[in-house]
Amino acid sequence: MDHNRLAERLFPHIHTTPEEIEARYPKRQLAEGAKVTRMGPSPTGFMHLGNLYGALVDERLAHQSGGVFYLRIEDTDKKREVEGGVQTIIEAFSSFGLPFDEGATLDGDDGAYGPYRQSQRAAIYQTFVKSLVQRGMAYPCFCTEEELAAAHAQQEQNKENFGYYGRYAVWRDRPMEDIEAALDKGTPYVVRFRSEGSIEHKLRHEDLVKGKLEITENDQDVVILKSDGIPTYHFAHVVDDHLMGTTVVVRGEEWLATLPVHLQLFRAMGWKAPKYAHTAQLMKIDPETGGKRKLSKRKDPELALSFYAQQGYPVPAVLEYLMTLLNSNFEEWRRANQDAPMDAFPFSTKKMSGSGALFDIEKLRDVSKNVISRMDTDTVYAAIADWSATHDRAFHALFTRDPAMSKAYLAIGRGGKKPRKDLALWADAKGYMDLLFDELFRPDYTMPERVSAEEAKAILADFAPLFDAQDTPDDFFAKMKQIAAAHGYATDTKAYKADPSAYKGAVGDVSMVVRVAIAGRQNAPDLQTVMRILGRERVLARLDQCVAALGSA
Ligand code: GLU
């Protein structure tokens, strides 16, 4: 077989040599130990949590080591590509604050190792395939879909492994005349890699997440170039990650099955394979069956990255939650370093679990509450204003009408050792703040059990003339005691508990009556502060409104 002649026949338009291409991708000048990682998403228009999960690993590994994190668009499958897909990818990562150091941008490339869109790299891949053909390591295969299906059926019947290998690799050793005849007829073909592997052999591999593995060698002659001249994932991965200098490939564990193919290709090309970190699938407990299953695009809205922005989960909360899934020791670190930026956490692939990570939205809410409780008032105000501007225009108008008022409310219980944790996402702001806005105020005047409607009215009537917006919490509480005593309620809870029959209730019942009247619910932040924010006029109006409502009850 004249391999050179075959290579020229298949790739007459390729005049570059592998060496010329290699020269365009010099070794990166980085400090010892610096890692180069990349995201290689396909522009399908759908970005999911798994993408972010992997990206966080990439970003941490690179930036923690003084390395490079870059974006490569894997657009070799035109059928799955959607218009604006690249934009969706870039916007999703930038909204999650995971900065790429280089790679594809909206209108081109930024970096010296491009092009960063695989669709623009056809000549590069073909140069390397041509060289494999020249060396007898790759060959064209003219099998039709029908022929491959027939082989598959045969293998099924014989209970043999599926695929293109051994006697099923019908073009592997075909004479040149057959190949040329097929080419002369213009028969479409793919290029396959000639595997020298055997399923009798195992290869050892150490994955950064899965640990030591023993995997069966690949004996299939896999397709490396499709009939349109575009490479398959396998070949593009090997060529790109070599040229672009990737040192750690972080990708979903679904790629583990074809790792032997990739290692084989790296060897055939004479290139050093990168390290691999195969990340576990994101699982959840199915609310219906109670069983564990993979997150599903169809059933689980929380799989889509867009879900988090829509609901108003703060970006750092989502990242922190993903970090709790990624590194088993993150939560402990966070408890000990409450105010440290997340980047200060020493992330390690050694702490990643090799089995499925269990995604739990309730846990995300808890993490988010903690994250928001540590934010300062101005940050929270800006985030709510920003979120509501696109997702709840009506609330936005109320919320930003008097910024000082909204901020004063958001400041209640913020800071200090035990901050309030009312908000898990920005969409919660409306329900938490409704009592500030008469437009949203829908009071539920359910009074404490021990207080009748008549009594509640009398308490409110007594409180109205005593109200002073300048009162400190202590002043306010003294007034509550005064009213309690006048109405036969114990002025302290201990006294009430010691002899309940001597009282109608305790001072807490009295202040609860005032709280319900003002806040329209039993659960609200510090009442004295709320009343100061509302101001005298609105407080008195609320007291009247409640008395009127109780009167008609
Ligand atoms: N384009 C591949 C995917 O969408 C990327 C896998 C990888 O990171 O190598 O899954």
Question: DSSP assignment of 316-374, as one string?
Answer: HHHHHHHHHHH-TTHHHHHHH-TTS-GGGS---GGGS-SSPEE--HHHHHHHHHHHHHT
- What's the count of helices (H) and strands (E) in the chain, helices before strands? 23, 16
Q: In this structure, are residues 504 and 486 in contact, taking their beta carbons and an 8 Å threshold?
A: no
Considering only CA atoms, which of 312, 511, 531, 512 is closest in space to residue 435? 531
Name residue 293's beta-bridge partners: 284
Distance, C-alpha 470 to centroid of its chain:
46
- Band of pLDDT at residue 414, cut at 50, 70 and 90: very high
Does the pLDDT of residue 13 top 60, yes or no? yes
Q: Could you tell me the distance, in angstroms and rounded to a whole number, from the CA of residue 40 to the centre of ligand 1?
A: 5
Name every residue whose Cβ is closer than 8 Å to that of residue 261 and which is 6 or more positions away in sequence. 218, 220, 222, 234
For residue 552, what pLDDT is reported? Answer: 64
Does the pLDDT of residue 534 top 80, yes or no? yes
* Rounded mean pLDDT, 245-262: 96
H/E stretch holding 387 reads: helix 377-391
- Token pair, residue 135, equals 């060396």
- Band of pLDDT at residue 202, cut at 50, 70 and 90: very high
Q: Could you tell me the distance, in angstroms and rounded to a whole number, from the CA of residue 449 to the centre of ligand 1?
A: 60
Q: In this structure, are residues 90 and 106 in contact, taking their beta carbons and an 8 Å threshold?
A: yes
Does the pLDDT of residue 338 top 90, yes or no? no
Cα→Cα distances 495→108, 487, 489, Å: 75, 15, 10
Q: What confidence tens digit (pLDDT) does each residue in 262-302 have?
A: 999 999 999 999 999 999 889 999 989 999 999 998 999 99
Q: Could you tell me the distance, in angstroms and rounded to a whole number, from the CA of residue 514 to the centre of ligand 1?
A: 59
CA angle 105, 122, 120 (to 5 degrees): 20
What values do phi and psi take at 205, rounded to 5? -150, 145
Name every residue whose Cβ is closer than 8 Å to that of residue 331 and which is 6 or more positions away in sequence. 324
- Band of pLDDT at residue 369, cut at 50, 70 and 90: very high
Does the pLDDT of residue 532 top 70, yes or no? yes
Q: Could you tell me the distance, in angstroms and rounded to a whole number, from the CA of residue 419 to the centre of ligand 1?
A: 42
Q: Provide, rounded to the nearest whole percent, the portion of the chain with pLDDT above 70.
A: 100
**CA atoms of 254 and 210, how far apart (whole Å):** 12
- Among 39, 251, 263, name the best residue to mutate to test ligand 1's pocket (greatest count of ligand atoms within 8 A of Cβ): 251
Q: Provide, rounded to the nearest whole percent, the portion of the chain with pLDDT above 90.
A: 87
**CA atoms of 365 and 398, how far apart (whole Å):** 25
**Cβ atoms within 10 Å, residue 266:** 18
**CA atoms of 238 and 432, how far apart (whole Å):** 52
**CA atoms of 235 and 241, how far apart (whole Å):** 10
* Rounded mean pLDDT, 4-27: 97
Name every residue whose Cβ is closer than 8 Å to that of residue 242 and which is 6 or more positions away in sequence. 266, 269, 271, 272
Q: Could you tell me the distance, in angstroms and rounded to a whole number, from the CA of residue 268 to the centre of ligand 1?
A: 22
**CA atoms of 58 and 37, how far apart (whole Å):** 5
Q: Please give the mean pLDDT across all residues of the chain.
A: 94
Does the pLDDT of residue 76 top 90, yes or no? no
Atom index in ligand 1 nearest the CA of residue 251 equals 8
Considering only CA atoms, which of 289, 314, 310 is closest in space to residue 299? 289
Buried b (16+ CB within 10 A) or exposed e, 184-201: eeeeebbbbbbbebeeee
Considering only CA atoms, which of 514, 525, 523 is closest in space to residue 489? 514
For residue 430, what pLDDT is reported? Answer: 97
- Among 39, 79, 119, 255, name the best residue to mutate to test ligand 1's pocket (greatest count of ligand atoms within 8 A of Cβ): 255
Name residue 357's beta-bridge partners: 282
Beta strands in 382-497 (DSSP E): 489-490
* Rounded mean pLDDT, 203-216: 95
By the 10 Å C-beta count (0-12 exposed, 13-18 middle, 19+ buried), 110 is classed as: middle
Does the pLDDT of residue 553 top 70, yes or no? no
Radius of gyration of the chain (CA): 33
Q: What confidence tens digit (pLDDT) does each residue in 64-75 have?
A: 999 999 999 999
pTM of the model: 0.88
Residues with CB under 6 A from ligand 1: 40-42, 74, 237, 249, 251
Considering only CA atoms, which of 296, 406, 362, 419 is closest in space to residue 48? 296
H/E stretch holding 487 reads: helix 473-487
Give the dihedral of Cα atoms 444, 446, 448, 452; nearest 10 deg.
140
Does the pLDDT of residue 440 top 60, yes or no? yes
Atom index in ligand 1 nearest the CA of residue 54 equals 8
Name every residue whose Cβ is closer than 8 Å to that of residue 327 and which is 6 or more positions away in sequence. 345, 347, 348, 351, 352
Q: What confidence tens digit (pLDDT) does each residue in 462-481 have?
A: 999 999 999 988 999 999 99
- Among 237, 276, 282, 297, name the best residue to mutate to test ligand 1's pocket (greatest count of ligand atoms within 8 A of Cβ): 237
For residue 79, what pLDDT is reported? Answer: 84
* Rounded mean pLDDT, 485-493: 92
Cα→Cα distances 411→380, 416, 421, 453, 531, Å: 9, 11, 12, 33, 14
For residue 82, what pLDDT is reported? Answer: 87
Q: Could you tell me the distance, in angstroms and rounded to a whole number, from the CA of residue 38 to the centre of ligand 1?
A: 10
